[in-house]
Amino acid sequence: MPELRVCALYPDLMNIYADRGNLLVLERRCRWRGIDFSVTGSGLGDRLDPDVADLFYIGGGQDRDQTLCARDMAEIKRDALHAAAARGAVILAVCGGYQLLGHSYQLGEETLPGVGLVDLITVRSDAPRLIGNAAIEVELEPGAPRVLAGFENHGGRTRLGAGATPLGRLLRGHGNNGEDGHEGVRRGNVIGTYLHGPLLPKNVWFADWLIRAALGLGEPLAPLDDRLEAAAHAEARQAAGV
Ligand code: GLN
């Protein structure tokens, strides 16, 4: 039986807006299909084995917690994350976690290091936080646009470098910086987004895409009875006005 192995980075510190719910969705959707599932955690000070998981996950966090994690991630886990990404593991990062995937997160006088997996920088602004329901159009498979809907709340403004591709195009909401109409980042199986909700219960099609990508499956996953999940998605889109 195939198994999806997930490693959650800083599960106690980086988990706001119930971001851990994303892991529950991955677990259920695997088990309902007879795919085994296991999750391990990697916290402050823990060395990371790049082969320990098929999917590495990091949720959102307050600036205070992020400061601790940023240093740890850059000093102790950086090389392992690069090695994992290079072999095609999925890395999914939400909000505060997303900000740490880039080159740096500037917080006032302090500039926190990122792990440099994607070409972007984030600067904490004193301007009003970017808050609200949001929806984006993403095209993970060429020619097949889909919608992700969720909720964002961040003070940081993220700007992608010339070499980076956004995860999606904003339909509603503020996205990376409230200015350029972009949301998130994608480099192969490395994905960052500001969307909480948590994200996956509201967008189970994306959970399934992640499972397939992480396991390297060519075949589509077996369909599930997604009536409740479809209603959750519709409601999230409606909340965003899409
Ligand atoms: N602390 C970060 C910010 O405010 C991220 C917040 C979050 O994860 N929601 O920009």
pTM: 0.97
Q: State which fold the 3-240 domain adopts.
A: Rossmann fold (3.40.50)
183 in Cβ contact with 151 (< 8 Å): no
The CA-atom distances, in angstroms, between 214 and each of 7, 53, 233 are 12, 9, 23
Residues 6+ apart with CB under 8 A from 191: 90, 91, 92, 93, 167, 184, 185, 210
CA distance 128 to 71: 26
Instruction: Tell me if 27 sits within 8 A of 55, measured CB to CB.
Output: no
**CA 106–ligand 1 middle distance (angstroms):** 12
Query: Does the annotation mark 196 as catalytic?
Result: yes
Per-residue pLDDT of the chain (242 residues; tens, 9 = 90+): 799 999 999 999 999 888 889 999 999 999 999 999 999 999 999 999 999 999 999 999 999 999 999 999 999 999 999 999 999 999 999 999 999 999 999 999 999 999 999 999 999 999 999 999 999 999 999 999 999 999 999 999 999 999 999 999 999 999 999 999 999 999 999 999 999 989 999 999 999 999 999 999 988 999 999 999 999 999 999 999 99
What ranges do the domains of the chain cover?
Answer: 3-240
CA of 168 from ligand 1 middle (Å) equals: 19
